[in-house]
Structure 1
Amino acid sequence: METLNLPEFDHKIKQIEGKAYIFDVLRKKYVRITPEEWVRQHVIHLLINQYRYPKALIRTEGGLVLNQMQKRTDLLVYNRSGEPFLLVECKAPHIPLKQQVFDQISRYNQVHKAPYLVVTNGLTHFCCCIDAQSAQFTFMADLPAYP
């Protein structure tokens, strides 16, 4: 897999019927490794290991209904009160982070209403804080500390 602009982590990869799978510490099982999954696993370990976000409060590929259509968020972190805190959209490294990616996470956040959004392709990362009252956002230099 491609080297990313994220910290390395101790990962477990195994072959099942000729296809590579990576162990997901949140789902507690091996999942098919794709370029997007490779990015997601790096972000999961970054949140847990570097930023000390609690594993139990991170949800992977959670479902949501948007405009009567079923969608999936890549990662959603909850605060200790069980409210959405940080929404993460992961793309494969070859996918440029253009306006449509920001539009996608903004649409998902209409449902979740998380105060922080992150978009990454593993090479480039953007984090912003959303002011719910004014609907204004501010880009941040780093991820927020877990509350």
Structure 2
Amino acid sequence: MSSNQDPAWIFPLYDLRLQRRPQGLYVWDIIRKQYVSLQPEEWVRQQTLQYLIQGLGYPQGWVQVERGLRYGIKQLRTDVVLYHPQTTQPWVLIECKAPEIPLSESTLHQALTYQAKLQAQVICLTNGLRWLTAIQNDSGKWVFEEAMLPPYAQMMS
């Protein structure tokens, strides 16, 4: 899936617990506590989880993966949601894409659809090669910039 020498990845690469099965390769999801099929988007999601928890210090207990959402008649699933430890409300919404999928208007629209239901304070988009972070400005418009999410201690201060 990747090479530790590949300088294009935006976060450090973590060793993931893998399992080969007749159906293919599976990866241990530290949040869902189960093996899931290792597809390119799942690889980005698992690396993102490791980066959030090990690299940035976000508490594992406040992280949810693939939360189901009802949007009209559609059933949607968010990739990663971080909850605020003081309010217990959705805090950061992270939408992961496979590395070959560009972060586009479509990706942004998908995240904003989830945001409309969750009301998180921060939206992040990543494909492992880019990371965009957005907050709402005073007029309510989401402003995206090429910036990683700050460490947990900084977000809490």
TM-score normalized by the length of structure 2: 0.87
Picking from 60, 63, 66, the partner of 1:58 is 63
User: 1:11-22 counterparts in 2 under 5 A?
Assistant: 11-22=16-27
Deviations 1:88-128 (A, max 9, x none): 10011111111011011001100001010011111111011
The runs of 4+ residues in structure 1 deviating greater than 4 Å are none
CA distance in 2, matches of 1:77, 1:100: 22
Superposed, 1:68-83 pairs within 5 Å as 68-80=73-85, 81-83=87-89
* Paired-residue identity, %: 35
Q: Cα distance, 1:18 vs. partner?
A: 4.6
Alignment check: 8 A CA contact 2:131 2:148 kept? no
Supply the RMSD in Å over aligned alpha carbons: 1.5
The equivalent of 1:2 in structure 2 is 2
Letter in 2 for 1:63: G
Q: Distance in 2 between matches of 1:2 and 1:94?
A: 12
In structure 2, C-alpha distance between the alignment counterparts of 1:72 and 1:18, rounded to whole Å: 23
Note the 1:55-134 alignment, pairs <5 A.
Answer: 55-80=60-85, 81-131=87-137, 134=139
Long gaps (5+) in structure 2? 4-8
Q: Comparing both structures, which one devotes a greater share of its residues to strand?
A: 1
Unaligned stretches of 5+ in structure 1? none
